[in-house]
Amino acid sequence: MIDRRDFCKKALLIAGGMAIPLSALELFDPKRLLAEKNDPAPTRWVFLVDTHKCVGCGFCVKACKIENEIPYDANVTRTWVERYVISRDGKTHIDSPKGARDGFISPKMEQGVEHPVEVRNEDIAKAFFVPKLCNQCDNPPCVQVCPVGATYQTADGVVLVDRSWCIGCGYCIMGCPYGVRFFHPVYHVAEKCNFCYHRITKGMKTACVDACPFGARRIGNLKDPNDPVTRVIMTERVNVLKEEYGTKPQVFYLGLTKEVK
Amino acid sequence: MVHGEAWTIKEFFCYPNEYIYWTIQIVMYPFMTGLVAGAFVLSSLYHVFGVKQLKEIARFSLVFSFALLPVAMMPLMLHLQQPLRGIEVMMTPHFTSAIAAFGIVFTTYALIVASELWFVYRVYFVETATALGEKRERTLWEGILYLIYRLLIMGAWDISHEAVEKDEKAVKVLAATGIPVACFLHGYAGFIFGSVKANALWMTPLMPVIFICSAVVSGIALCIVTYTVTMELRKMIFSWKRQQKPWLPSTDELKSAEVQVVTMTSKYLLMFLVLAITLELLDLIFRGYTALKSWDILRSVIYDKDFFKIFVLQYGCGNAIPFVLLLLPRLSLKRVVFCSLLVLMGVFMMRWNVVIGGQAFSSSFAGFMEYRLPVWPTTMELFKEGLFGAIMVAITPFVLFFGLTRILPIFNLKDSH
């Protein structure tokens, strides 16, 4: 029969004996070792949108839908363009018919079930277009809330979805403040813009960047100081969307104003 | 058609990908888990705190809580786009997600309720199995029952005084651990919503607490309703059977016992109701007072678009009216049941206003979305996330309850629990 003193002694011995190999696990964390040896990711993909250059042609949306096989007529899209018309009385009107897949062909602005509004040219104080896409946040809320780890962030900063693992709960869609996520109409799993990861990792540009005739969209590597995109971000006055959510978005905008939602 | 398009109506500017993705089944999910947690808390009032008057309803609500348990999972499975992969939440949980804890919390809770039930019913199992075993000729149903009970006993045939006392102690411990776990199960359902920073209506640290209080309220209310209905049925059956078997309790005897239990339970209902209303109003006032960026759109949702659902159905019919009716003197059985039904409707509306109301506005804060509940199921999707899917979820616990009570009778047990 073991007495109390012996029990305490042996318990301490076992606890101590177990603590050593367990702490070794911490000592040799392969991820940290790699990180200390050299920067594991020489790349951080970022996006730069120059709203001054965007004319709302919608080529980017069209190109994206075809490149990434999002059913052409489905009312969801990985990227879209918003039209902002601010009238002289201070009212802001916004629309994005079919995500601007066909551009903005009518001066009438869609208002959902409400009647479309048309602001007369002489009443317009300012008007502009804002392209939107996934912000590939540094602190992505969608990755945080995925219950099965089907969405994850790569070392170079892009957030991807594993179509074979997503259970389709929609929590990531709810968690994204930018509304970039949706359910893929064919695969029935969460879907989002991934900066055309299959292209950028092969040295190409994204489909939307290639399609933009005006150079309003650019993609770059924030870790390369000589990258023209990085230079603009470092030296000019850029802004991001909805900073207050603490998501650290990595799509930078030139010419963003307070009306942009 | 894109998921969500069938029941979403957009007004003004919403982002192109925005639809009402969380629909009636996600309303049913917290409603059903709430009922589970509430029913369990009610049964624990007797087992842990020794509220003797609740003895009759305690066993009833424990069995009912067990019947509700699998149904808490049903709406989630109906909601998932990939229901066959639902098990991944248990297999590869990603613990930064609030949903990932579901498997663990739910399993823990299920085990606690199941083992508590086992301890409560063990003596009954042994006695019945012994009686059935001694019988020379058993009918088919008796044979099946005999087999089930023998399996359930798991070799623990000892029903001596000491053994039974140990059982009672175990029930008490399990019921006591069950309360925090039940609260966690439901508080965590509130956390799933409260932690979504992208949603202005959901994001509040009060959400888990509000969910727990309304859960207990709804659980008690449902137990009152089901208990009374079951008692009424018993009375009918007894008065019919008494012609042959005059030793059965008379209708008056049953009635007086019933009134006492139900009025006592309604006091607890009232208590938790006050707590729930206070917290919900606190949340509303706080939002208005601090008036953050999102308040403009929230105000138009709360005071304009959803006014009827929030202030008339939820607060008015679901909270204020039952509150007054329960406080009025000379409380009758009918009035308690009526109030309980109103309270149930109120809690359902609260879930609705949180889940659907939280998606009633675009995260651009520049547009609204309206949810049209699909009624006639022309496709599987419209069935799953429509009226009939919700009705199916609502009916299942009663079917399960009926089945369970064939094995675990809830009335006329002479054991001490």
Q: Which pLDDT does position A27 carry in this prediction?
A: 64
**What would the DSSP string read from start to end of B293-353?**
TTHHHHHHIIIIITHIIIIIIIIIIIIIHHHHHHHSSS--HHHHHHHHHHHHHHHHHHHHH
Summarised one tens digit per residue, pLDDT across range A72-106 is: 999 999 999 999 999 999 999 999 999 999 999 99
**Model ipTM value:** 0.88
A256: exposed, middle or buried (C-beta count within 10 Å: 0-12, 13-18, 19+)? middle
Side chain identity at residue B70, one-letter code:
P
Which residues touch B201 (CB under 8 Å, ≥6 apart)?
B294, B298, B301, B354, B357, B358, B361
Three-state secondary-structure class, residue A125 = strand
For the ranges A100-104, B134-138, B191-195, B317-321, the lowest mean pLDDT is seen at: B134-138
Please state, in angstroms and rounded to a whole number, the distance separating the CA atoms of residues A254 and A259.
14
B106 Cβ partners below 8 Å, 6+ apart? B72, B73, B185
Q: What is the Cα A119 distance to its own chain's centre?
A: 32
Contact between B325 and B335 (Cβ < 8 Å): yes
Give the whole-angstrom CA distance, residue A149 versus residue A166.
Answer: 8
Cβ burial of A117 (10 Å; 0-12, 13-18, 19+) is: middle
- Supply the pTM of this predicted model: 0.87
Alpha-carbon separation of residue B350 from B212, B356, B369 (angstroms)? 12, 10, 18
A181 interfaces chain B, CB cutoff of 8 Å: yes
pLDDT > 90: percent of chain B: 55
Q: Alpha-carbon distance B148 to B132, whole Å?
A: 11
**pLDDT at residue B226, as a whole number:** 86
- In the predicted model, what is the mean pLDDT of chain B? 89
Selected residues 31-90 of chain A with any CB under 8 Å from a CB in chain B: 74-77, 80, 82
Any B CB within 8 A of A113 CB:
yes
Q: What is the pLDDT of residues B369-407, one digit of tens each?
A: 999 999 998 899 899 999 999 999 999 999 999 999 988
φ, ψ at B379 (rounded to 5°): -125, 165
Whether B128 contacts B134, CB under 8 Å: no
CA distance A162 to A160: 7
Q: Can you give the pLDDT at residue B126?
A: 93
B40-98 confidence digits (pLDDT tens) = 888 888 888 887 778 878 888 899 889 988 888 899 999 999 999 999 998 899 999 98
Per-residue pLDDT, averaged over B103-121, amounts to: 90
| Set of chain A residues whose Cβ sits within 8 Å of the Cβ of B362 | 179
CA-to-CA separations, B177 to B100, B104, B113, B221, in angstroms, rounded: 22, 15, 10, 23
Three-point CA angle B306, B27, B95, nearest 5°: 120
Average pLDDT over residues A186-195: 96
CB-CB contact of B377 with B386 (8 Å): yes
Does B22 contact A174 at a Cβ distance shorter than 8 Å? yes
- Phi, psi values for residue A126, rounded to 5°: -155, 155
Query: Cβ separation of A75 and B16 shorter than 8 Å?
Result: yes
What pLDDT score was predicted for residue B75?
93
Q: Which residue has the tokens 């804060």?
A: B365
Residue B257 has pLDDT above 80, yes or no: no
CA distance B9 to chain A (A): 7
Which amino acid belongs to residue A102? D
CB neighbours of B78 closer than 8 A, spacing ≥ 6? B25, B384, B385, B389, B393
Whole-number pLDDT of residue A23:
75
Confidence of residue A33 (pLDDT cuts 50, 70, 90): low
Provide mean pLDDT across the span A45-51.
97
- Model confidence at A26: pLDDT above 70: no
- Distance (Å) from the C-alpha of residue A187 to the closest C-alpha of chain B? 9
Residues of chain B numbered 348-407 and touching chain A (CB < 8 Å)? 362-368
Q: What is the pLDDT of residue B244?
A: 79
Which of A78-92, A226-240, B178-192 shows the lowest mean pLDDT across its residues?
Answer: B178-192
Report the gap between the CA of B65 and the closest CA in chain A (Å): 26
pLDDT digits (tens, 9 = 90+) for B234-253: 888 888 887 777 777 777 77
In whole angstroms, give the CA distance from residue A100 to residue B352.
33
Confidence of residue B278 (pLDDT cuts 50, 70, 90): very high
**What confidence score (pLDDT) does residue A28 get?**
65
Amino acid at B85: R
Contact at CB, B97 and A114, closer than 8 angstroms: no
Please state the rounded mean pLDDT for residues B214-242: 86
Cα–Cα nearest to A70, from A161, A192, A218, A180? A192
Q: What is the C-alpha to C-alpha distance for residues A27 and B157, in angstroms, rounded to an integer?
A: 53
